[in-house]
Amino acid sequence: MIHIEGVTVVYPDGTRALSGIDLHVERGEFVFIVGASGSGKSTMLRLIYRELVPTEGRVLISGQDVAGLPRNLVPTLRRNVGVIFQDFRLLPDKNVWENVAFALDVVGASRREKYRKVPLALELVGLSEKEQSFPHQLSGGEQQRVSIARALVNNPAILIADEPTGNLDPDISWEIVQLLANIGERGTTVLCATHDRVIVDGLRKRVVSLVGGTIVRDARGGGGYDEP
Amino acid sequence: MNLSMVEFLLQQTWQSIRRNGLMSLATSSNMTVALLILSAFFLATLNLEHMADVEARKANITVDLTEDADAGEVEAALLADMRVAETRYCPKEEAFEDTAVTMGLDPATLLDSLADNPLPNAIIAKPEDPQDMAAVAEAAGNIEGVAEVRYKEQITDKLLTLAHGIKVSGVVAGLLMAAATLLIVSTTIRLTIYARRREIRIMQLVGATNWFIRLPFILEGAFHGMMGGALSTVLVLAAYSWTNAYVDRHLGFLDLVYDTTFAVLFGLGALLCGVLFGVLGSLVGLHRYLRHI
């Protein structure tokens, strides 16, 4: 599904964010990317939704080299990759329903499609009751659920989560990660960057550790934050 | 592109126009002023050219004959010049009567007081193209039996020179205004882009195409252009119809270009210019600012 091969990323200011990374993720796999701030977690994820192109090496999604993708095909790739962030990135003047429907609006979904898909996505994240609420009326955990619903409403094959629990209390973090795990079990490939030790240790999924832009450990069979 | 996409785009456009209310107002007003100035220059040039044309068409060359000249020969010589469209013989009696009538006198009384008709026989010649007036007049002066050649060169030439001057300054002022308008529209679009940067970011992330992201901004530019075009048309046509009525009442000898077809075409032209300016301004703004988001 995702194949990263000999990838190096050097930012224009000369910062070397990743050095010769190799990673292969199967369809439906759940992978934690762990490491300290600045270890290259976000950079690695940004390669997958083609926010960045590698300085060296290749990134293949379903066999297609994303760096070589013509500009006009980037949107097509992104419809197949849902992304969620630490800061939720919801639109404050739209309610829950509209925030989720926004992802369908911009790809030209019909009204009927919206009325079918938005309730399904909201049900999946357990927010059916709050579809009329505005972001400022929701807790952090609920806001992150809305952003997950928005990321999933186009049925992407891949879900990228960049520090999804960075702004949340431990209890709520655990709920969000459980939700991501459920989504993974339904067949979506999930890549979750985090430095939250508790959730990684709790879930026992595959863990890839980054230090200074290099992969130092890949616990394929499932592991904790530090130990294999 | 389906119906719900169009609905979404229009909704986005309207939202951003409303959200930046004051700036939108400023942009539409600026567009109105720019188009007002352009329209005023356009109308002035058009009418001066029209007047010059009317005058030139009325103008003809009066060829005065010597006492012993053979009018038929001179007329034949004039017509031999390819630039001359038509000629008419005007005997001195007719010229005298015309003059008397113009002066508001009875020809018989005038003739009595003068003892003799001082006017010569003449041939009135009309050139095909008013531009050839001077050349035809010069050639006519060389024909045997011609005493003097007269034509109203000054008024036509002056009108044409004035029209040309106004046209040039109109184009220069128009270009300056167009540049200023483009700058203002692109700045408005930049502010809109800034106000909506979160939304644009999310649109990019969930896979909206670049054109889908750009279209609301282009529509916004077109909207300001349309507003400017409509408002300036209303103002200009109101002022113009007042001027036309005034000219009719007080300056009856002048004739302005004015009818319904003209008004409709003028309005459509102004709208089209406005939309064009608006869209161009948006494209400049998008080109300069969207890639930074």
Q: What is the domain count for chain B?
A: 2
Of A17-21, A91-95, B31-35, B51-55, the poorest mean pLDDT is in B51-55
Mutate to test the interface with A, among B9, B205, B214 (most CBs of A within 10 A): B205
pLDDT digits (tens, 9 = 90+) for A65-84: 998 888 888 999 999 999 99
Same domain, B138 and B34: no
Q: How many CB pairs under 8 A join A and B?
A: 57
The Cα of A113 is separated from the nearest Cα of chain B by a number of Å equal to: 11
Of residues B45, B39, B81, B36, the one with CA closest to residue B61: B81
Q: Tell me which residue has tokens 């700036």.
A: B23
| Interchain CB distance below 8 Å, B203 and A108 | no
Look up residue A139 and give its DSSP letter.
-
CB < 8 Å from B in window 14-73 of A: 49, 71-72
Find the CB nearest B2 among A78, A80, A110.
Answer: A110
Same domain, B82 and B201: no
pLDDT digits (tens, 9 = 90+) for B67-88: 888 888 888 888 888 888 888 8
Find the CB nearest A75 among B198, B199, B208.
Answer: B208
Find the CB nearest A78 among B5, B199, B205.
Answer: B205
pLDDT of residue A164: 94
Question: Which of B107, B127, B151 is at the close of a domain?
Answer: B151
- State the amino acid at position B139 in one-letter form: A
Same domain, B163 and B249: yes
| Interchain CB distance below 8 Å, A78 and B5 | no
Among all residues of chain B, which has the CA nearest to that of A151?
A: B206
Same domain, B233 and B124: no
Find the CB nearest A106 among B1, B2, B208.
Answer: B208
Of residues B181, B172, B175, B203, the one with CA closest to residue B279: B181
Question: Which of B96, B118, B151 is at the close of a domain?
Answer: B151
Same domain, B275 and B174: yes
pLDDT digits (tens, 9 = 90+) for A95-148: 999 999 999 988 888 889 999 999 999 999 999 999 999 999 999 999 999 999
Which residue range forms the structural domain that includes residue B85? 60-151
Chain centre distance of CA B191: 36
| Contact (CB, 8 A) for A122 and A115 | no
Question: What pTM did the predictor assign?
Answer: 0.71
Q: Tell me whether B10 touches chain A (CB under 8 Å).
A: no
CATH number of the structural domain spanning residue B73: 3.30.70.3040
- State the amino acid at position B184 in one-letter form: I
Pairing status of strand A81-85 against strand A158-162: parallel
Same domain, B83 and B207: no
